[in-house]
C-alpha cells in the first residue's frame, strides 16, 4: 500500500458512478481495479476513459490503496493513463459477456476467445500437463528427441497422410514418429520420448479427432514383455498428473481439482473379456471387431464400476485388428493375439502401444502381409540388421487427455488454433 506502480492490460469494463469511476484491467494474472475519484484524479482521465472502447489496451501509473471491496483488497489510484491500443467497435465476440457464441464464431475470432478466463484455464491445463510429462519422463530416465516431420514413407503407408511437394519429390507430413523412435532403440539411447505435432488426413467429423494434434510418444528397449510397458505407463501417467495438479494448484487454476489422482496398478482387461462384457458372442464375426466410440463409452460405465479405477488397460488386441500395424508383435503361443494394448480413461482411449516385432525375418513377413513392400522401408529395416534389442512403446494424445480432464466434449476447444478438415485459419 502506498507504492507507486505501473499496470497494463485490456480494459474489461468501465463504470462511472457520479463522483467515482471504476476501470477493470485484465492481464494473465487476473483483474486489477483502477479507481478514479473526483477531486483526487485529474479530470482529463475521466474524459479519456469515457471514450475508450472495452478491450482496448491501457497503461496506468498510480498509487496502490487499500480497498476491501475491490477484488484483490486493493486498487490503483491513477496519476496517468495511456491508451496503447484502441479496440474497434463493435466487438465481433464478447470476452466476458454472458452471451452464447457457437464454436465457429469463437474460432473465427479466436484471439478474442482466448482472452476468456475459462479458455485461458484450458491453456494453463495443457501447459501443466506438458510440464508434468516432461518432468516425469526425465525422472524415469528417458531422453527427449525430435524426429523429422517431413517423411518419404508413413508408418502404415500413405493412405491417411498429407502429401507435400518436397523440391519436386512427393513427401508426407508425419502421422507419427513411430518408425524413427523404433530405429533409435538400436542406438543405445534405450529410452526416448518426443512431444510434437502429428498429422492425420482422415476425413473425420467427430468431436474427438483433429487433423493436427499433439502426440506424446515414448519407446523403450530391452523389454521382457508387455508388462514392462504397462508398469512404465502407470508410473508415467500417475507421476505426470501429480505434477500437473500441483502446478495448477500453485497457480490457483479453477481446473486443478479436475486433474485425477490415479492409483496404480491399473486393471488389465484382455480384449476378449471386454468383448464379452459388451455382449459379443465368442466365435462370431463381430467378436474381434475393433471397439468403436460407443463400445468405449459402454466399457467406461462397466469397468470403473467393477475395478474402482477410471484408468484401465485393454490388452491382447487381436491380430485381425492390428494386421495393418506391421510392427506389432504377435504372441508366439497365440499368433491370433498381439502384445498391443490401449489405456482408456473414463470411457475413452487415451494411449495405445505395445511390444514391437524386433526379429527382422518376421518383421519383413508382416510388412508383406500388410500389403506393403519391405523395399519401401530400407532405412527403417537397416536398423534391425545390425542388432535390435526387444523393444516397445506407446503414444498418448495430449489434446484428448486435456479435454477429458476438463470435461470438454469437443477436442477442438483445447487447441489454440484447431485444424480439422474444414478449418485452415486463423
Q: Is 200 a catalytic residue?
A: yes
Cβ count within 10 A of residue 361: 9
Answer yes or no: do 270 and 176 share one domain.
yes
Query: Is 101 contained in some domain?
Result: no
Question: Of 400, 404, 412, 415, which one is the catalytic site residue?
Answer: 400
Answer yes or no: do 246 and 357 share one domain.
yes
Q: Which residues of 247-264 are buried (b: 16+ CB within 10 A; e: fewer)?
A: bbeeeebebbeebbebee
Q: What is the pLDDT of residue 159?
A: 62
Q: Is 400 a catalytic residue?
A: yes
Answer yes or no: do 81 and 171 share one domain.
no
Q: Is 247 a catalytic residue?
A: no
Answer yes or no: do 64 and 179 share one domain.
no
Q: Is 212 a catalytic residue?
A: no
Question: Of 10, 26, 209, 391, which one is the catalytic site residue?
Answer: 209
For the entire predicted model, the pTM comes to: 0.91
Q: What is the pLDDT of residue 155?
A: 60
Query: Is 104 contained in some domain?
Result: no
Q: Is 240 a catalytic residue?
A: no
Total domains, the chain: 2
Query: Is 71 contained in some domain?
Result: yes
pLDDT tens digits for the chain (426 residues)?
Answer: 899 999 999 999 999 988 899 999 999 989 999 999 998 999 999 999 998 999 999 999 999 999 998 888 899 999 999 999 999 999 999 998 887 889 999 999 999 999 999 999 999 999 999 999 999 999 999 999 999 999 987 666 556 889 999 999 999 999 999 999 999 999 999 999 999 999 999 887 888 889 999 999 999 999 999 999 999 999 999 999 999 999 999 999 999 999 999 999 999 999 999 999 999 999 888 898 999 999 999 999 999 999 999 999 999 999 999 988 999 999 999 999 999 999 999 999 999 999 999 999 999 999 999 999 999 899 999 999 999 999 999 999 999 999 999 999 999 999 999 999 899 999
Q: 136 CB contacts (<8 Å, ≥6 apart)?
A: 235, 236, 239, 240, 243
Query: Is 26 contained in some domain?
Result: yes
Which is it for the CA torsion 308, 313, 317, 323, positive or negative? Answer: positive
Q: Cis link prior to 90 (omega < 30° from 0)?
A: yes
Q: What is the pLDDT of residue 352?
A: 96
Answer yes or no: do 133 and 11 share one domain.
no
Answer yes or no: do 211 and 350 share one domain.
yes
Q: Is 356 a catalytic residue?
A: no
Q: What is the pLDDT of residue 204?
A: 77
Answer yes or no: do 80 and 174 share one domain.
no
The full DSSP string for 103-172 is HHHHHHTHHHHTTSHHHHHHHHHHHHHHHHHHHHHHHTT-EE----SEESS-BTBSTT--EEEETTEEEE
Q: What is the pLDDT of residue 154?
A: 65
Q: Cis link prior to 25 (omega < 30° from 0)?
A: no
Query: Is 92 contained in some domain?
Result: no
Query: Is 96 contained in some domain?
Result: no
Answer yes or no: do 238 and 374 share one domain.
yes
Dihedral, 132, 136, 139, 145 alpha carbons, nearest 10: -100
Q: What is the pLDDT of residue 254?
A: 95
Find out whether 418 and 271 touch, Cβ atoms under 8 Å.
no
Question: Of 135, 190, 202, 212, which one is the catalytic site residue?
Answer: 202
Answer yes or no: do 337 and 410 share one domain.
yes
Domain span at 10: 4-85
- The Cα–Cα gap between 76 and 45 comes to 13
Answer yes or no: do 23 and 130 share one domain.
no
Q: Is 412 a catalytic residue?
A: no
Q: What is the pLDDT of residue 72?
A: 85
Look up the CATH number of the domain holding residue 250.
Answer: 3.30.930.10
Q: What is the pLDDT of residue 18?
A: 83
Query: Is 419 contained in some domain?
Result: no
Query: Is 37 contained in some domain?
Result: yes
Please give the backbone phi and psi of residue 19, each rounded to the nearest 5 degrees, phi first: -85, 5
Question: Of 10, 54, 200, 404, which one is the catalytic site residue?
Answer: 200
- The Cα–Cα gap between 142 and 220 comes to 8
Question: Of 242, 352, 419, 423, which one is the catalytic site residue?
Answer: 352
- The Cα–Cα gap between 183 and 192 comes to 11
Look up the CATH number of the domain holding residue 65.
Answer: 2.40.50.140
Answer yes or no: do 194 and 71 share one domain.
no
Find out whether 38 and 78 touch, Cβ atoms under 8 Å.
no
Answer yes or no: do 56 and 136 share one domain.
no
Last residue of a domain, one of 65, 85, 105: 85
Amino acid at each position: 500500500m502506498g507504492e507507486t506502480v505501473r499496470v497494463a492490460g485490456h480494459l474489461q469494463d468501465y463504470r462511472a458512478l457520479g463522483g467515482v469511476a471504476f476501470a477493470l484491467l485484465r492481464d494473465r494474472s487476473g483483474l486489477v481495479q483502477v479507481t478514479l475519484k473526483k477531486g483526487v484524479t485529474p479530470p482529463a482521465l475521466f474524459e479519456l476513459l469515457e471514450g475508450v472502447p472495452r478491450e482496448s489496451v491501457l497503461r496506468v501509473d498510480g498509487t496502490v490503496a487499500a480497498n476491501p471491496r475491490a477484488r484483490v483488497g486493493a486498487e490503483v489510484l491513477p496519476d496517468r493513463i495511456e491508451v496503447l491500443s484502441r479496440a474497434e467497435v463493435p466487438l465481433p465476440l464478447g470476452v466476458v459477456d454472458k452471451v452464447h457464441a457457437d464454436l465457429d464464431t469463437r474460432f473465427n475470432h479466436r484471439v478474442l476467445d482466448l482472452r476468456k478466463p475459462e479458455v485461458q484455464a484450458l491453456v494453463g491445463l495443457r501447459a501443466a500437463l506438458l510440464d508434468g510429462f516432461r518432468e516425469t519422463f526425465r525422472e524415469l530416465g528417458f531422453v527427449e528427441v525430435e524426429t523429422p516431420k517431413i517423411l518419404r514413407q508413413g508408418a502404415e503407408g500413405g493412405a491417411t497422410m498429407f502429401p507435400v511437394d518436397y523440391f519436386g519429390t512427393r513427401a508426407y507430413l508425419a502421422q507419427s514418429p513411430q518408425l524413427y523412435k523404433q530405429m533409435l532403440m538400436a542406438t543405445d539411447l534405450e529410452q526416448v520420448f518426443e512431444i510434437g505435432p502429428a498429422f492425420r488426413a482422415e476425413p473425420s467429423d467427430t468431436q474427438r479427432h483433429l487433423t493436427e494434434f499433439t502426440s506424446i510418444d515414448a519407446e523403450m528397449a530391452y523389454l521382457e514383455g508387455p508388462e514392462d510397458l504397462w508398469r512404465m505407463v502407470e508410473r508415467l501417467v500417475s507421476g505426470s498428473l501429480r505434477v500437473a495438479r500441483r502446478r495448477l494448484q500453485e497457480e490457483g487454476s479453477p481446473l486443478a481439482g479436475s486433474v485425477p489422482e490415479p492409483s496404480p496398478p491399473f486393471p488389465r482387461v484382455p480384449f476378449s473379456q471386454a468383448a464379452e462384457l459388451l455382449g459379443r458372442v465368442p466365435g462370431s464375426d463381430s467378436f474381434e471387431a475393433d471397439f468403436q466410440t460407443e463400445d468405449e463409452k459402454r466399457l467406461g460405465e462397466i469397468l470403473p464400476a467393477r475395478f474402482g479405477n477410471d484408468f484401465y488397460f485393454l490388452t491382447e488386441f487381436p491380430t485381425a485388428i492390428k494386421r495393418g500395424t506391421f510392427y506389432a508383435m504377435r504372441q508366439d503361443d497365440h499368433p491370433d493375439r498381439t502384445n498391443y494394448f490401449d489405456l482408456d480413461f473414463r470411457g475413452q482411449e487415451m494411449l495405445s502401444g505395445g511390444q514391437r516385432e524386433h526379429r527382422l525375418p518376421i518383421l519383413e513377413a508382416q510388412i508383406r502381409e500388410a500389403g506393403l513392400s519391405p523395399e519401401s522401408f530400407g532405412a527403417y529395416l537397416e536398423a534391425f540388421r545390425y542388432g535390435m534389442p526387444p523393444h516397445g512403446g506407446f503414444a498418448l494424445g495430449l489434446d484428448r487427455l486435456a479435454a477429458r480432464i476438463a470435461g470438454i466434449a469437443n477436442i477442438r476447444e483445447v487447441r489454440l488454433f484447431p485444424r480439422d478438415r474444414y478449418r485452415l485459419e486463423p
